[in-house]
Amino acid sequence: MQETLLTVFTGIVAVALLLQSLAFVGIYRSVRSIASRLDKLSNDLTVHANALSRKADDLMSTVKQLAEGIKSIQEKVNETAVVVHNRIVEVDRFLGETTATARLQILRIQDVVDTAVRRVEETCSVLQNSVLTPINEMNAVARGIRAGLDFLLRRRKMPAGLSHQDEEMFI
Residues 89-116, mean pLDDT to the nearest whole number: 94
Domain that holds residue 163: 40-170
Does residue 133 lie within any of the structural domains? yes
Q: Is the dihedral of CA 146, 150, 152, 153 positive or negative?
A: positive
User: 3-class DSSP state for residue 1?
Assistant: coil
The per-residue pLDDT for 10 is 92
Amino acid in position 151: F
E strand residue ranges, 62-153? none
138 pLDDT band (50/70/90 cuts)?
Answer: confident
Does residue 125 lie within any of the structural domains? yes
- If one counts the domains in the chain, the total is 1
Residues 28-57, mean pLDDT to the nearest whole number: 92
pTM: 0.39
Does residue 2 lie within any of the structural domains? no
Does residue 44 lie within any of the structural domains? yes
Q: Is the dihedral of CA 95, 112, 118, 138 positive or negative?
A: negative
Whether the per-residue pLDDT at 70 is higher than 80: the answer is yes
Whether the per-residue pLDDT at 69 is higher than 90: the answer is no
Within 8 A by CB and 6+ apart from 139, the residues are 169, 170
Does residue 4 lie within any of the structural domains? no
* Alpha-carbon span 126 to 31, nearest angstrom: 134
Whether the per-residue pLDDT at 84 is higher than 60: the answer is yes
Whether the per-residue pLDDT at 165 is higher than 70: the answer is no
The per-residue pLDDT for 152 is 86
Does residue 50 lie within any of the structural domains? yes
- CB 145, CB 156: distance < 8 Å: no
Q: How far is CA 122 from CA 129, 131, 136, 140, in A?
A: 10, 13, 19, 25
